[in-house]
Structure 1
Amino acid sequence: MIFGVKVTKNLEMEILTVSSVVISVVCIVVVTGFIRGLNWVWSRPKRMERFLRQQGIYGTSYKLLFGDLKDMSSMRTQALKTPMNGFSNDYFSRVEPFRHQLMTNFGKDFFLWQGPIPILHLSKPELVKEVFTRIDEFHKPKVNIMLAKLLPGLVRYEGEKWAKHRKLINPAFHVEKLKLMLPAFHDSCADIINKWKMLVDEMGSAELDVWPDLAKLSADVISRAAFGSNYQEGQKIFELITEKTDLALQTVHSVYIPGLRYIPTARNRRFKVIEDQLHKSLFAIINKRKEALEAGEAVKSDLLGILLDSNSKDIQPVGNGKNHHVGMSLEDLIDECKLFYLAGQETTSTLLGWTLILLSKHQDWQARAREEVLQTFGSNMPDFEGVSHHLKTVTMILYEVLRLYPPGARLSRRVCKDTNLGTFSVPEGAIIAFSLKSIHQDSDIWGDDAKEFKPERFADGISKASNGKNAFFPFGWGPRICVGEKFAMTEAKLALSMFLQHFSFELSPSYVHAPIQTFLFLQPQHGAQIIIHRS
């Protein structure tokens, strides 16, 4: 009996000991998590704020967890309720009212808070080039999972994976490959020109919102040039990507909380359905093409064919007479295709849209561009040689449009470790951001007419246009400059040439000038109403 009591007491002691250990571990985990959480949402941001202020950089005071997100969102919502007062290229205060207010209060260099993360806005072009050249120290900012899925592939990768993908993708955008895609560009432009001809011939002239047509044109070009299909065949993919973009953009002005994506909200469920449908559609396109190549069919001259060919050649010997394929996986290829669809379509449609608006406003430059196009091509189909080398006026116009209305709002990078940048010391975890709109319209760089549409400033090249400061960054800078830059410019030059061969454009009295910045692209909030006449 005594022995039994002792055993029971020993067992109770062991249970108490185990319980104490478990409770201690739980307490340590809870306390550690609390300390880390407190450091993330308060202590670290306040230390970074003091550090920035000590260097003479001024900005907003940090607010717990949300930072400036609420103020940015409310000011933007209010600004977008009313259009601009007349036509002006000075739209920064409407598109980004909160940042405009900070620039007015603190000068060109300042900081604000995206949740607990400081965003350091800098203005010097030389710092843009330094940040975008030091790619191992400044990485793409981390974004929530929805935004990461919106822009997958090359734009999100770092280090070796980025270098490998860039190497494999580059051949698809070589000049010789672009020549092969010109028929696809021609066909897409011809479709929209025929549509506009029917409208104009019926009424003598036609007023329409050209923005949706230009979006369809760019979508058609991507479908034909990238995948060998036309817009109708790829329309479902574009509809899915458009809906996916709308869902992802709803998260832009919110704090990213890890794990939130696993909560089965209506938005998260729909996003997952769209992802699965996109994956299925692109998998079918890619797999069909791969099977054709494996069956011995010739490599097609579209982007996907060139990319698959480049990928299949990325073989390394591993010994014993065996080879190892180190190229992209099927999932990688699908991600790159998603990126082709979204970035390729939006960039060019945005550029063409603002170009037609500005040429409709500035009839003298429209006439000069048409004269150059007719002298170069007459009524013949534009060829690659002429598009690439004989359209100086058209190129100047497109550069000026990109300067005044760059497709992207900002260039930004995450600081990977404490480092120096120019005269500043920047802490790990901060975001360095450059507003293209403010740099591209800085009178200290471009002159007193910086906000005016004057393509002649590019007559002697980009460097002289910005007084030797090379402050022109519509496609980024450095090793990670947009791989599709030549593709976009070639498409824009050819489309504009074909438009000017057939039509003249006049800005409609119903047009309302109201630029709006989505997460990625600058667009007219109420469309682009233009009166089209036969040329």
Structure 2
Amino acid sequence: MSMDGKGVVDVLHYLEDYSGSVVTHSLFHTTFDDEMRRNFHYLRDLTIMTDTASKPFMFPGAEYLPSETKKKAKEMEKEVRQSFTKMIDQRLKNRQAGEPDAADHDLFDLFLDELYEDKNKLSSRERKRIIDEAIAQTKLFYFAGYDTTSNLLVWTMITLAIHQDWQARAREEVFQVLGNNNTLTSDGLSQLKLLNMILHEVLRLYPPIMELSRVVEEETQLGSLRIPKGVLLQLPITLLHRRPEIWGKDALEFRPDRFSEGVLKAANGQAAFMPFSWGPRICIGQNFAMMEGKAFMAQLLRTFTFELAPTYKHAPYAAFTIQPQFGAPLLMRKI
């Protein structure tokens, strides 16, 4: 960015660093350093590999064959485990030296409470179980607060760069509600109704996950359909979010005011809005991700105006999340 406060910035990787810093602080009470960045990238790559391997278009027994992908995945899983195990061992040493204040406890401590309390009674198998569960829980919060949130933010910025009228309206609301107060609170952020509508519309058009897969555990009658046990069902969220019979003839248009009366009204009374899944399996990080998104956009709108750079190419593609294939170069101007 130039001295006069304007310039072209590819915001994609900056947003990944932002969301990575937030989730790292929440999970580990530490900074988003090179080691944590590498761990998170490994977790993302492992998930993409797992998702690809779970697709139904494979011949029987393919999952048991050795491959370069499986070898790479095994090496990455080993490095992630070593990193987390080292972190756990350091925390145990710190606790033995003196119990830290409760205010310093983070989410990772909650995952490891059983290990802290019974460290002298645990067998090696029990210790491994606790560490495995802690890593699994960490992966869950990684998706709630890292990849999906940076995905939401990059498409929000791109969409508002295209729709300058909505960007101006959102900025006006932020100044009216929050003024120039840099201390953001959950109460203040919850009053940003227009910004909330914008985030919901971005999640409708660019949901972080394109489809959900579920294996039917027992024979199920779903309306007029009988679904046998063991069938893999795939729900194409992107298509569901764009169906005219649910969202109206303008389903392909960016129109945040469709959410002015809530999600159910916007979806014509149907359970058709699923950026965070639905029902008992809904993402537990939903509120965390939305609050993080509001906080970032509120600060951004008070600091910069932005529009598409001439080099921007609109080409969404599906990795594990929906990503801008050629990055997100935007022309930023400081207010």
Of the three residues 106, 110, 121, the one matched with 1:302 is 106
Match status 1:479 vs 2:303:
no
| C-alpha distance in 2 between matches for 1:261 and 1:212 | 36
| Closer, same or farther: CA 468–343 of 1 in aligned 2, 3 Å | closer
Amino acid at match of 2:90: K
What do residues 252-300 of structure 1 show as CA deviations (whole Å, max 9, x unaligned)?
666265475563x433332222111110001122332344446422232
Give the superposition deviation at 1:506: 0.5
- 1:363 is displaced (CA, Å) by 0.7
Query: Which residue number in structure 1 is paired with residue 70 of structure 2?
Result: 268
- Quick one: structure 1 residues 231 and 257, their matched pair in 2 at CA, closer, same or farther if it must change by over 3 Å? farther
In the TM superposition, residue 241 of structure 1 has moved relative to its aligned partner by: 3.2
Does 2:299 correspond to 1:495?
Answer: no
Q: Deviations along 1:23-80, whole A, 9 cap, x unmatched? A: xxxxxxxxxxxxxxxxxxxxxxxxxxxxxxxxxxxxxxxxxxxxxxxxxxxxxxxxxx
The match for 1:452 among 253, 256, 259 is 253
Output the CA distance in 2 between the equivalents of 1:472 and 1:246: 23
TM-score (norm 2): 0.87
Aligned residues: 324
1:470-522 per-residue CA deviation (whole Å, 9 max, x = no partner) reads 4211111111110111111111010111111110110122211111011x211
Q: Which residue of 1 aligns with 2:88?
A: 286
**Shift in Å, 1:221:** 1.3
- Within the candidate set 76, 79, 104, 1:277 is matched to 79
The answer to whether the 8 A contact 1:507-1:529 is kept is: yes
Q: 1:344/1:474 Cα in 2 relative to 1: closer, same or farther (>3 Å)?
A: same
Query: Structure 1 CA distance, aligned partners of 2:85 and 2:274?
Result: 34
* Structure 2: segments with no counterpart, 5+ residues: 119-125
Shift of 1:222: 1.4
**Residue pair 2:24, 2:32 contacting (<8 A) in 1 also:** yes
Unaligned runs of at least 5 residues, structure 1: 1-198, 315-324
- 1:228 aligns with 29
For residues 498 and 356 of structure 1, the distance between their equivalents in structure 2, rounded to whole angstroms, comes to 13
Q: Is 1:530 matched up with 2:301?
A: no
1:340 corresponds to = 141
Is the contact between residue 505 and residue 531 of structure 1 (CA under 8 Å) also seen in structure 2? yes
2:312 aligned with 1:508: no
How far does the alpha carbon of each residue in 1:75-107 deviate from its partner, in whole angstroms, 9 at most, with x for none? xxxxxxxxxxxxxxxxxxxxxxxxxxxxxxxxx
Matched-pair identity in %: 37
Q: 1:390 to 1:382 in 2, by over 3 A?
A: farther
Q: 1:330 to 1:245 in 2, by over 3 A?
A: closer
State the shift of 1:306 in Å: 3.7
> Alpha-carbon deviations, 1:321-346, whole Å to 9, x = none?
xxxx99x6122112222333345311
Number of the residue aligned with 2:266: 465
Amino acid at match of 1:462: V
Q: Partner of 1:359 in structure 2?
A: 160
* Alignment of structure 1 residues 405-444 onto 2, 5 Å: 405-444=206-245
Whole-angstrom CA distance in 1 between matches of 2:247 and 2:38:
43
Greater C-alpha radius of gyration: 1
CA drift of 1:244 comes to 3.9
Q: TM-score, normalised by structure 1?
A: 0.56
Shift of the 330–451 alpha-carbon distance from structure 1 to 2, 3 Å rule, reads same
Q: Which moved more, 1:452-461 or 1:267-276?
A: 267-276
8 Å Cα contact 1:410-1:435 kept in structure 2: yes
Aligned partners of 2:52, 2:212: CA distance in 1, in Å? 21
Q: Equivalent residue for 1:377?
A: 178
Task: Judge conservation of contact 1:382–1:497 (CA < 8 Å) in 2.
Answer: no
**Superposed CA offset, 1:386-429 (max 9, x none):** 44421101100000000111101112211122221111111122
**Aligned partner of residue 329 in structure 1, secondary structure:** helix
Q: Structure 1 residues 292, 262: closer, same or farther in 2, change over 3 A? A: farther
- What pairs with 1:204-219 in structure 2 (closer than 5 Å)? 204-219=5-20
Q: CA deviation at 1:435?
A: 1.3
- Kindly tell me: are residues 412 and 280 of structure 1, through their superposed partners in 2, closer, same or farther at Cα, counting changes over 3 Å? same
1:384 partner amino acid: T
